[in-house]
């Protein structure tokens, strides 16, 4: 007897059976644009959904964030971007990720600026940070 998930998608079938991170949700979502359905299927099957790092820049400066992590023992390319004032980002981190490092700094006129934070976690986490202050007087809160 073939399972319903096998009829829906080979990628979905493999993901649900093994929980393998080699089959990324992106592969599955290509077939099903509504990721709400995919997240529900994953939660029903006891697999961990991806975690999120949210950074919201409420400061009066441009900020630069970088997120590093390992997946299946391999270092992944860093996720980096600039955030202008009143801009935010929500960055998904695979639930199986390890050695998480989150860096954020004020981006100065020369391209480097005051560091705001440099945090590490042994495994994937969901965190939210709000950046505040003015150039040279930066701060952040974890919410």
CA distance 118 to 89: 17
H-run or E-run covering 29? helix 25-31
For residue 102, which of 50, 77, 66 has the smallest C-alpha distance?
A: 66
* Better pLDDT: 10 or 88: 88
Percentage of residues in the chain having pLDDT higher than 90: 47
Which residues neighbour 103 within 8 Å (Cβ) at sequence distance 6 or greater? 65, 66, 67, 68, 115, 117, 118, 119
**Under 8 Å between Cβ of 50 and 93:** yes
**pLDDT above 70 for 138:** yes
What is d(CA 77, CA 74) in angstroms, rounded to the nearest whole number?
A: 10
- Confidence band for 124, pLDDT divided at 50, 70 and 90: very high
Q: What pLDDT was estimated at residue 10?
A: 64
Write down the pLDDT at residue 1.
40
Q: pLDDT per residue over 43-89, tens digit each?
A: 555 456 789 999 999 999 999 999 999 988 899 888 899 999 999 99
Judge whether residue 3 has pLDDT over 60.
no
Q: Mind listing the domains of the chain with CATH numbers?
A: 4-44 (no CATH), 51-142 (2.60.40.1430)
Q: How many CA atoms lie within 13 A of 130 on its CB side?
A: 7
Burial of 120 (0-12, 13-18, 19+ CB in 10 A): exposed
pTM value is 0.65
pLDDT number for residue 120: 97
The set of long-range contacts for 115-118, using a CB threshold of 8 Å and a minimum separation of 24, is 116/63, 116/140
- Partners of 22 in beta bridges: none
């Amino acid at each position: 007897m073939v399972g319903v998930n096998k009829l829906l998608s080979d990628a979905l079938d493999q993901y649900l059976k093994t929980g393998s991170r080699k089959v990324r949700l992106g592969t599955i979502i290509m077939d099903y644009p509504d990721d709400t359905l995919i997240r529900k299927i994953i939660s029903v099957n006891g697999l961990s959904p991806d975690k999120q790092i949210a950074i919201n820049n409420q400061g009066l400066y441009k900020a630069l964030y970088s997120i590093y992590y390992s997946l299946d023992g391999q270092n992944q390319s860093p996720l980096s971007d600039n955030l202008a004032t009143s801009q935010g980002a929500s960055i998904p981190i695979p639930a199986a990720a390890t050695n998480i490092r989150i860096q954020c700094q004020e981006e100065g006129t020369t391209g480097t600026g005051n560091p705001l934070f440099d945090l590490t976690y042994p495994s994937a986490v969901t965190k939210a940070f709000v950046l505040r202050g003015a150039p040279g007087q930066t701060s952040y809160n974890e919410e």
